[in-house]
Structure 1
């Protein structure tokens, strides 16, 4: 481990891997596991105790697992009881509540708010100021742009919680609100500032307030080239696992069939 050695607290019950760098003023609570070659920047809190900590003498922190290659930027707070795959990264001032599960290579932008009890697949990229409500289920290779909100209470205020589901390779554009129980299929595009509820089939272009399916997203043509950008994996590969071989080859190797 490498430390900047200023006001760092690490519980004796935490497990820190090899070549982990930890910044100033960071707190790592009980039962946090940090994988090799990770960077934890200044002023982070990992394994933040849950609410019962303040009221129960028998409280014990649930395990928090951050796998190798993480980059956790300053002022991030990760509550206890979550699991993060390899190469997880955050921007600044990110909050992630308990029982969150992330696959490999996920990125969360600055001031992202994850309300816990959510599931993400691999290679999900969230930009800044995104709010994800509880019980959300996000597939693989999903891009969510700034100021998107995923809600979960159909009759607020209530004790009912029905999260949003988003399929693999879908894009949620800037300023969109997805209502409780919304189901977005694979390879969909939800246009900017849409208000969306209901269920949508794969390859849907969804736009408006209220949001409506306009057409198959593959029929959306570029004004510059006259060609469709969608499905986007055929046109965009930066940072993706198919960057060096192309999406068609990669998806066959990885069992995505005709997706």
Structure 2
């Protein structure tokens, strides 16, 4: 029956939830999951171990198909990866698949069919319209709107009020074209990306731009309409009296701006050839103490212990 929440979840050890929280059919909670008060966890939702869910969160929200024909609706499985943090007021529709370490701000919305990678941050009031893909270690600031069919590749960084549009001539829905944002791309605040636009690897888009055409790899573009101005590798910033190259972002710069994904700060140390393990651990702890809060260090050390060669290679990759 629709909206029947009298079920008990299949809960691992040390799980707990607050008053007023209800569960649908087939809910699975990993070990140590903590859920706040007045949450609604719908049918076929799986929440990974060590995940924290704030108050008044909805997971497994039904799609439009449910309201059109409630009696025939079959809920889609919803999965939230381990060690995630879902803040109060977030709504996650059925059919969302999110990897390890997802972090949302307050009142974020993830529509059906979103495929979210590992260690992704989604800021408060951001709206992911579904049927889209977000890679690993992506940061979406507050009030970002991603239209359907958008693809955001690994390590991209979108500042507040970035909007991707997928429909050239509303409401001609059969012409929907998703935006494709390449690895390490940086999109400034209040930027509009028009349907079908492709942003290249390490491209940088200035704030308040309107992007109507493709932007090549390593390009810096700005304006309305946005035009390529220079190579992003020629952009510099001041660090005190020192002038340094601003892009591309190496791993340690990324992590200083995004401490939740603090594991990036240690990737190059992990990959150092012929390094003594004890010496590597000492260097990692030193790096953590310089860049991260003390409570984050245990998480980083667990991450290092589980790091695979392919993961490490991706994390340490920077362009010349």
Alignment of 1:1-259 (within 5 A): 1-4=15-18, 6-56=19-69, 57-159=71-173, 160-222=175-237, 225-233=242-250, 236-238=253-255, 239-246=261-268, 253-254=312-313, 259=319
Partners of 2:28 and 2:141 lie apart in 1 by 30
Relative to structure 1, the CA distance from residue 175 to residue 79 in structure 2 (aligned partners, 3 Å threshold; closer, same or farther) is same
The answer on whether the counterparts of 1:233 and 1:247 sit within 8 Å (CA) in structure 2 is no
Give the match for residue 280 of structure 2.
Answer: none
C-alpha distance 248-165 of structure 1, shift in aligned 2 (>3 A):
farther
- Greater RCO (CA < 8 Å, at least 6 residues apart): 1
Encode CA deviations 1:2-57: one digit per residue, 9 max, x unaligned: 122x1110123111111111111100111100010111110010000111212321
Give per-residue Cα distances to partners, 1:144-182, cap 9 Å, x unaligned: 000110111112221121010000011001111111111
Deviates more, 1:112-121 or 1:7-16: 7-16
Decide whether aligned partners of structure 1 residues 198 and 242 sit closer, same or farther in structure 2, where only a CA change above 3 A counts. same
Distance 1:194 1:169, change over 3 A: same
Secondary structure of residue in 1 paired with 2:230? strand
* Distance (whole Å) between structure 2 residues aligned to residue 118 and residue 128 of structure 1: 18
User: Quick one: structure 1 residues 234 and 29, their matched pair in 2 at CA, closer, same or farther if it must change by over 3 Å?
Assistant: closer
For the residues of structure 1 that align with 2:113 and 2:67, how far apart are their CA atoms? 19
Q: TM-score normalised to the size of structure 1?
A: 0.93
Note closer, same or farther for the CA distance 1:211–1:3 as it changes in structure 2 (3 Å cut).
same
Distance 1:114 1:23 in 2: 23
8 Å CA contact 2:250, 2:318 repeated in 1: no
Gaps of 5+ in 1: none
Does the 8 Å contact 1:234/1:247 carry over to 2?
no
Question: Matched residue pairs, number?
Answer: 258
TM-score by length of 2: 0.76
Shift of 1:220: 1.6
Q: In the alignment, is the contact (CA less than 8 A) between 1:207 and 1:214 conserved in 2?
A: yes
Secondary structure of 1:213 counterpart: strand
Determine if contact 1:229/1:235 at 8 Å carries over to the other structure. Answer: no
Q: Give the C-alpha shift of residue 87 in structure 1.
A: 0.5
Q: Distance between the aligned counterparts of 2:23 and 2:111, measured in 1?
A: 20
Higher helix share: 2
Looking at CA atoms only, which structure, 1 or 2, has the larger radius of gyration?
A: 2
5+ residue gaps, structure 2, are: 1-14, 256-260, 273-308
